Amino acid sequence: MASDSHAPAAAIRPCTATDPPCPIAPLHNLPIPPPSHFAHLYKPNAINGKTIVLGIEGSANKVGVGVLCYDPISSTYQTLSNPRKTYVSPIGCGFLPKETAWHHQAHIVPLIRAALNEAFPNELNPEQHLSAIAFTLGPGMGGPLKSCAIAARSLSLLWKIPLIAVNHCIAHIEMGRVATQASDPVVLYVSGGNTQVIAYSDGRYRIFGETIDIAVGNCLDRFARVVGLSNDPSPGYNIEVMARKHSMDKPLKFVELPYVVKGMDVSFSGLLTFIEELTRRREFIKDDEERQSENQFTTADLCYSLQETIFAMLIEITERTMAHCGQNSVLIVGGVGCNRRLQDMMAEMVADRGGTLCAMDHRYCIDNGAMIAQAGMFGLQYGSTEMVVKLEDTECRQRYRTDQVEVVWRPKTRGKHA
Amino acid sequence: MSKILSSKPWYGPPPPAEVTCGSGKLLSQGAEARIWLLPVPLPTPSPSTSTNTDDTTDGRGHVINYQSDNKNASIDKAMTSSIRTLHVGGGIHVPHIMHFSQLSTHLASTSNSSSSQQHPPSPTVIIVKERFSKKYRHPTLDATLTKNRTKGEARSLIRCLKAGVSCPQVLGIAHWPASATSINNNNTGTTQKTTTSSCLFLEWIEGCTVRQYLEHRSSSTTPSSLNELDDDSSSNTPNTKRHRCNNDCNDDNGDESPIPSKQPDRITTPIDTQTLCVARTIGQLVGKMHAAGIIHGDLTTSNIMLKNPPWAINSDGGSSSSRCGETIDGDDANNNIPLLDWRPQLALIDFGLASSTTSTTTAANNSSNTNKQQHNAEEKAVDLYVLERAFLSSHPESERLVEELLGGYRDYFVSLDGSTDVVVVGKDDAQDVTVTAAASCDIGDKVDDVTATGTSPTTRPSKGKHGHAAKMILNRLEQVRMRGRKRECFG
């Protein structure tokens, strides 16, 4: 549930399906899907044997529809279209469930039309190619989730194709794995609603470390609100821009903030309270020009210090997980994963350990429909009874942990650690 | 040892010259810290300190390089003067080691003063836990964190020692710059910041980890290994030895060792008087620590040392002169019969994640503070839960041991209420533990008897405030078991 992703405006491309097909062969943890064990579940495309899934995402302030195609001949996954709309709340205000739900309701139908038109241009009945509809079951905000689930249910009844209920976090991970071809990475999932360090073990994505209160994106967003940064394109991105004023010649001041790492877990709420208190102090000034004494600090100083502190916490728990699991590749997913500073710090840590950091990609960093379709596709192809649900079982779950889903498409290894 | 060095992945900045100068051996490498085994050249009893320090500095060119800044004079002065102490918080002071040679003189003085204790009179081998700096962090943040964590660990250890929980002695603390020589060799052109590593000098505890002990016992009692007794026992020795080196004091790889996974699945943990006695003693030790208000944070069987493994006693009649690995004698260890006079002596290690709360005594005194009490119970319950998980995941079918452990935990708290027969304040901690262990082992001559006493640690009546606290913690443990270590949270 990447509520407030740090989407640089440039990353949102006008055309949504320019990514090349992703081959799955190099992923040794991702065997080629079994041919027709699950014929009772879905029908591949009658004409060319392709499996095409429509994914609908709307767990936070973004609503997205993606069309994903699996080609059995080349055994590749390709995003055919992936349009998205973001609800941007006014300055000083977060996005509220009710208003976000309205936004999603207003945009979901045009988005589905646009996605199908782009995927199958000049076709009168593009829905006939679809094998299934995947939608976000959770976790996320209730209103937005329900709005999208209703759209998915209606289309499933209308087009008589199965529904796949997808866990949002799993979707991020699977899209990231396919896009970067990382077979078994440690995943740092950082967004507006989630902060988790995840590694696969014995049929499930286990959460090794996580936040014990608010998510990292939430912390950034709320800080942006307090200091009056814009929510467009996202608050986190604006914080990043402020912090980039730091340079060797003109270094920003580092204000010490609470650093709360408890074992493998992190906590941000105390830090947020602390930094909010700082903005009410007399030493806090908006601009550098007003600076009169050494102990004053500006918005940029706070942005810089906040980023340095919370990202160091995230890197630390990721490193602990890496050491614990003996893995040395890292994948960052979720909206905050777009942050350059976080990527740089992670790259530095990973390089020190002799590992690899998987490159960033808007396809899995920011919430979108294609990633839901990707996870849904796996669930469908491997016949996950948990994910291919009946209409009655499509009740949205606002709390839906990553480790609750059985990952049937990955081989069962003997548990490293639970 | 050199084999271990090369097989371990190496990262982080170069360690301080002191540790690497030929003698320091890397025991384990965690994400945050490295553990070194460091022989300390003790000066001869006659106070000829001047010649000694000359020797150590001349012998190693690194050291001269290392102190090549303008602090030379001050370091020389510090070497001759007495050792200062560093406040690590909570009114606790730790010897602040400014220079390596100080360490040897300091150790010599402490070993002379405390020669009456059970420790070997001259600790020539010590453990150095080096927290190295992280490049990715902001330098200010990095320096503060590294220093504070080392201090915090020292504080927790000393609190434990004061409370009579046996754990390694803190011999000193140091904030040393990482070796400047190798940085200079690499690239002189770039302005490389000198990074600080904080070192904690700890007593080297002999023996093996409880995990090794249990694995050794289970491997020696399996029918398959009994058939090929000789082969198995001889192959066992290097295994356990390496294992210890992998896991000792380890921050993060505690349970993550390739060795147990290679063992066949059918190996089960032996349940007999001896292992039950060990489990009960662990429970008492953890109870003692919790009663003193210290949360370990990373309780695993790899982080509990068994100072006197039974095979060591069998082989040479006393644990004091045995050294880990060298005297692990397979033939004797395969002896299944519990030793009559053997009582486990345990010690907790790796307090890297430790934290302290109010002790149960103070918490129970102001009963108005129920919220805080609840919080304490939660933390302690999670601590126990982590230990329980560690037992069950790395030692198959060890449920009985966990029960016994929790029984010992509860009994320790109950024994704090009123009854003066078991625990006397102060004195030698190891003695206390062994007394209670002896009592429990006498009851448990037959395994069934022990089962009867230990199966329901939560349901037995408890009296007094400590018993109440234990009941609260164990009830909380039930809740933690139900939900796992983490609560189910949003998103």
Q: Most confidently modeled of A331-340, B248-257, B463-472?
A: A331-340
Is the residue at B124 inside a domain? yes
Chain A environment of B303 (Cβ under 8 Å): none
Where residue A291 falls among pLDDT bands split at 50, 70, 90? confident
My answer on whether B383 and B432 are in the same domain is yes
pLDDT digits (tens, 9 = 90+) for B107-116: 767 655 544 4
* Residue A374 host element (H or E): helix A369-381
Which residue of A254, A398, A416 is in closest CB contact with B256? A416
- B145 touches A at CB < 8 Å: yes
CATH number (domain holding residue B250): 1.10.510.10
Residue B488 located in a structural domain: no
Of the residues B156, B184, B203, which one is the last residue of a structural domain? B203
Q: Which residues of A touch B31 (CB under 8 A)?
A: 316, 319-320, 322-323
Does A174 appear as a known binding residue? no
Taking CB atoms and an 8 Å limit, are A210 and B486 in contact across chains?
A: yes
Instruction: Considering only the beta carbons, identify the residue of A265, A312, A415 that sits closest to B137.
Output: A312
Q: What is the structure's pLDDT at A233?
A: 84
Contacts of A4 in chain B (CB under 8 A): none
Q: What angle do CA B343, B349, B355 make, to 5 degrees?
A: 125
Is the pLDDT score of A295 beyond 80?
Answer: yes
Residue A4: its pLDDT value, please? 43
Residue of A259, A266, A267 to mutate for B, most B C-beta atoms under 10 A: A259
By the CB < 8 Å criterion, does B252 face chain A?
yes
Q: Which residues on B lie below 8 Å from A211 (Cβ)?
A: 489
pLDDT tens digit sequence for A149-184 = 999 999 999 999 999 999 999 999 999 888 888 888
Q: How many CB atoms lie within 10 A of CB A412?
A: 12
* A contacts of B247 (beta carbons < 8 Å): none
Residues B105 and B132 in one domain: yes
Task: Check whether A172 is labelled as a binding-site residue.
Answer: yes
Q: Is B144 on the interface with A (CB under 8 A)?
A: yes
Of B298, B323, B319, B297, the C-alpha closest to B310 is B319
Read off the tokens for A355.
Answer: 């590992």
Q: Is B191 on the interface with A (CB under 8 A)?
A: no
- What per-residue confidence (pLDDT) applies to A197? 94
Beta-carbon count within 10 A of B450 CB: 25
Give mean pLDDT, residues A74-100: 88
Range of lowest pLDDT (A159-168, A222-231, A383-392, B172-181):
B172-181
Residue A163 · residue A391 · CB < 8 Å? yes
Q: Is any Cβ of chain A less than 8 angstroms from the Cβ of B30?
A: yes
User: CA of A106, closest CA in chain B: separation in Å?
Assistant: 24
Q: Between A18 and B306, where is the model more confident?
A: B306
- B345-373 mean pLDDT: 72
Residue of B138, B255, B488 lying closest to A417 (CB–CB): B255
Residues 6 or more apart in contact with residue A341 via CB below 8 angstroms: A240, A243, A307, A308, A311
In a domain, residue B324? The reply is yes
Of the listed ranges A187-191, A359-363, B61-65, B162-166, the least confidently predicted one is B61-65
Question: Which residue in the set A1, A210, A309 is minimally distant from B141, CB to CB?
Answer: A309
Q: Domain containing B175: what range?
A: 2-203
In Å, what is the CA distance from A144 to each residue of A7, A319, A368, B490?
20, 34, 14, 15
The residue of chain B nearest to residue A193, with distances taken between CA atoms, is: B491
Contact of B32 with chain A, judged by CB distance below 8 Å, is answered with yes
Is the CB of A212 inside 8 Å of chain B's CB atoms?
Answer: yes
Q: Is residue B349 part of a domain?
A: yes
pLDDT digits (tens, 9 = 90+) for A29-74: 455 566 556 666 777 776 678 889 999 999 999 999 999 988 888 7
Higher pLDDT among residues A351 and B252, named by residue:
A351
Q: Do B491 and A325 touch (CB under 8 A)?
A: no
pLDDT in tens, A2-36: 444 444 433 333 333 444 555 543 444 455 566 55
Are B32 and A308 an interchain contact pair (Cβ–Cβ within 8 Å)? Answer: no
Q: Are residues B72 and B90 in the same domain?
A: yes
Q: B266 and B132, same structural domain?
A: no
| pLDDT over threshold 50, residue B471 | yes
Please tell me whether residues B283 and B344 are part of one structural domain.
yes
Terminal alpha carbon distance of chain B: 47
pLDDT over 80 at A208, yes or no: yes
Give B136→chain A minimum CA distance, Å: 5
- Res B262 pLDDT > 60: no
What local confidence, expressed as pLDDT, does residue B33 receive? Answer: 85
- What is d(CA B157, CA B431) in angstroms, rounded to the nearest whole number? 19
Residue B153 forms part of a structural domain: yes
Residues B183 and B245 in one domain: no
The predicted pLDDT at position B111 comes to 58
Q: Do the chains contact at A349 and B486, CB–CB below 8 Å?
A: no
Residue B59 has pLDDT above 50, yes or no: no
Mean pLDDT within A395-406: 90
A352–B137: do the CB atoms touch at under 8 Å?
no
Q: Is the pLDDT of residue A235 over 70?
A: yes
Contact residues, chain B, for A319 at CB < 8 Å: 31-32
Give the pair of three-digit tokens for residue B275: 């292992």
Contact criterion met (CB < 8 Å) for B136 and A315: yes
Q: Do A354 and B488 touch (CB under 8 A)?
A: no
pLDDT at A52: 92
Does a structural domain hold residue B183?
A: yes
Got the DSSP string for A171-231? HHHHHHHHHHT-SS-EEEEESSS-EEEEEEETTEEEEEEEBSSS-HHHHHHHHHHHHT---
- Among the partner residues A207, A259, A418, nearest to B145 by beta-carbon distance: A259
pLDDT digits (tens, 9 = 90+) for A239-290: 999 999 998 888 899 999 999 988 788 999 999 999 999 999 998 988 777 7
Interval A308-354: pLDDT, tens: 999 999 999 999 888 888 888 999 999 999 899 999 999 999 998 88
Q: How far does CA B63 lie from the centroid of its chain?
A: 30
Residue A399 touches partner B, C-beta closer than 8 Å: yes
User: Contacts of residue A251 in chain B, CB cutoff 8 Å?
Assistant: none
A121 touches chain B (CB under 8 A): no
Does residue B491 lie in a domain region?
A: no
A418 and B393 within 8 Å at the Cβ level: the answer is yes
What is the model's pLDDT at position A21? 55
In the prediction, which pLDDT does B18 show? Answer: 63
**Cβ separation B140–A254 shorter than 8 A:** yes
Above 50 in pLDDT, residue A416?
no
Does the pLDDT at position A402 exceed 60? yes
Residue B490 domain flag = no
Q: Could you tell me if B122 and B220 lie in one domain? A: no
Which chain B residues have a beta carbon less than 8 Å from that of A316?
31-32, 134
Q: Inter-chain contact A210–B489, Cβ cutoff 8 Å?
A: yes
Q: CB-based contact (8 Å) between B136 and chain A? A: yes
Domains and CATH numbers, chain A: 9-182+365-404 (3.30.420.40), 186-361 (3.30.420.40)
**CB-CB: which of A325, A345, A399 is closest to B488?**
A399
Shared-domain flag, residues B199 and B225: no
Stretch B454-476: mean pLDDT, rounded?
70
* Residue A350 counted as an annotated binding residue: no
Q: Is A210 annotated as a binding residue?
A: no
CB of B241 less than 8 A from some CB of A: no
Q: How far is A330 from chain B (nearest CA, A)?
A: 15
Same domain, B228 and B246: yes
What is the pLDDT at residue A39?
64
- pLDDT at A80 exceeding the cut of 50: yes
**Interchain CB distance below 8 Å, A207 and B486:** yes
Q: Residue B73: its pLDDT value, please?
A: 44
Is some CB atom of chain A closer than 8 A to the CB atom of B420?
no
Question: Helix (H) and strand (E) counts for chain B?
Answer: 21, 12
Task: Indicate yes or no: CB of B256 within 8 angstroms of CB of A140.
Answer: no
Q: Is A298 helix (H, G, I), strand (E, B) or coil?
A: strand
pLDDT, chain A, mean:
85
Residue with token string 């007394």: B435
What pLDDT is stored for residue B32 in this prediction?
Answer: 82
Cβ <8 Å between B30 and A323 = yes
pLDDT of amino acid B347: 93
* Comparison of pLDDT for A294 and A147, the residue scoring more: A147
Q: How many domains does chain B have?
A: 2
Q: Which two tokens stand for residue B250?
A: 């380890």
SS3 B172: strand
Range name among A232-241, B138-147, B354-363 with the lowest pLDDT average: B354-363
**The pLDDT of residue B163 is above 80:** yes
How far is C-alpha B490 from the chain's CA centre?
Answer: 36
| Domain end call among B203, B232, B251 | B203
DSSP character at residue B382: H
C-alpha to C-alpha distance for A21 and B172, rounded to whole angstroms: 59
| Type of residue found at B421 | D
Is residue A340 within 8 angstroms of chain B, CB to CB? no
What is the interface size between A and B, counted as CB pairs within 8 Å?
Answer: 93
A261: nearest CA partner in chain B: B353
B288 and B198 within one domain:
no
Claim to verify: residue B178 and residue B269 sit in the same structural domain: no
Closest chain B C-alpha to A76 CA, distance in angstroms: 31
pLDDT over 70 at B444, yes or no: no
Integer Cα distance of A189 and B190 in angstroms: 35
Residue B259: is its pLDDT beyond 70? Answer: no
Q: Looking at the structure, do residues B24 and B162 belong to the same domain, yes or no?
A: yes
Which of the listed residues B170, B187, B203 is the one where a domain comes to its end?
B203
Q: Cβ A256–B137 below 8 Å, yes or no?
A: no
A349 to chain B, closest Cα gap in Å: 6
